[in-house]
Amino acid sequence: MIKQLLSLLIIPFILFRVALNRVGRLWKRSSVIVDKYIYKTYYQDIGKEITKVFPCNNYDDGSLAPIILRLAWHCCATYNKYTNTGGSNGSTMRFLPELIVEGNTGLETARLALEPIKQKYLITYSDLWTLAGKMAIESMNGPIISWKSGRIDCKYAKFPISDHLPFGDKDSDHIRKTFTRLGFNDEETVCLLGAHSVGRCHKYISGWEGKWTKNPTKLSNEFYKNLLNEQWHESIVPETGKVQYYNEDNSLMMLPTDIELIRDKNYLKFVKIYSSDDKKFYKDFSGAFSKLLRLGFNE
């Protein structure tokens, strides 16, 4: 009699526990979905705010997108795969000496443009600057760039930075050494340097002067086409003494490191590929730039 009674009680109890477990799993799953939705929409809102910053009639070619892209690039290019230091995590450019190294001159324009967004939203500088780089690429006709939040900001400078950024007046050995330290192979290196299709140089900032392409607010494979198809001659910027290269009518320029891409046989191979295949360029650039934004960041 007791056994029968227990059997009658146990079965409903088991069914109740099964139902409760299912409800719990559904609740947990729905919570994850809600969290992901909130996360996605929050950073989408920040992304929209960032794109509103780009149009600027008082700046180069009416857009801040190229210099904000440069901010993201320099934020990440401090990475050292051998010591696992630097990279997009930390936003150490806010501190000396990184703040004033030659390669970062002029980036205060980009940082100041993004500062109101930093004050409005709960986001680290590291996430803001890298997200801004993603939005800059996508706003300039570029591919979709993968990005995740979670970077932290350091409270002080952590390591010497003077030799981490690539220099525009060096040879192919310097390029290869720099990008190998970042974790990129030759193909990825040439692909990332295709970002020189946007923006321009200023003699009062970098010592060089001019733009690489006819449309410096649109990411394209024109940079590679110009390298191959234009006739480049060496010149000196009178005010700074810097060496650079001009095309025949002096309307476009190249840095010494750009010219190295057609002097180095392995780099030249990829310049030719990207100059003739814009779809491959966009696809590869998406992967390489997404990888750049993750340097030094453990997701």
Of residues 15 and 81, the one with the higher pLDDT is 81
Q: Looking at the DSSP assignment, which residues form a beta bridge with residue 246?
A: 233, 253
Active site residues: 74, 212
CATH of the domain at 69: 1.10.420.10
pTM score, two decimals?
0.85
Question: Do the domain assignments include residue 270?
Answer: yes
Please state the domain count of the chain: 1
Question: Do the domain assignments include residue 6?
Answer: no
Of residues 38 and 97, the one with the higher pLDDT is 97
Which residues constitute the domain of residue 169?
Answer: 51-294
Alpha-carbon gap, residue 237 to 208, rounded angstroms: 7
Question: Do the domain assignments include residue 122?
Answer: yes
| Averaged pLDDT of the chain | 87
Question: Do the domain assignments include residue 21?
Answer: no
157-191 residue pLDDT tens: 765 555 667 788 899 999 999 999 999 999 999 99
- What would the mean pLDDT of 40-50 be, rounded to a whole number? 94
Question: Do the domain assignments include residue 27?
Answer: no
Question: Do the domain assignments include residue 204?
Answer: yes
If one counts every other C-beta atom within 10 angstroms of the C-beta of residue 20, the result is: 10
Report residue 1's pLDDT band, with 50, 70 and 90 as the boundaries: low
Question: Do the domain assignments include residue 23?
Answer: no
Question: Do the domain assignments include residue 171?
Answer: yes
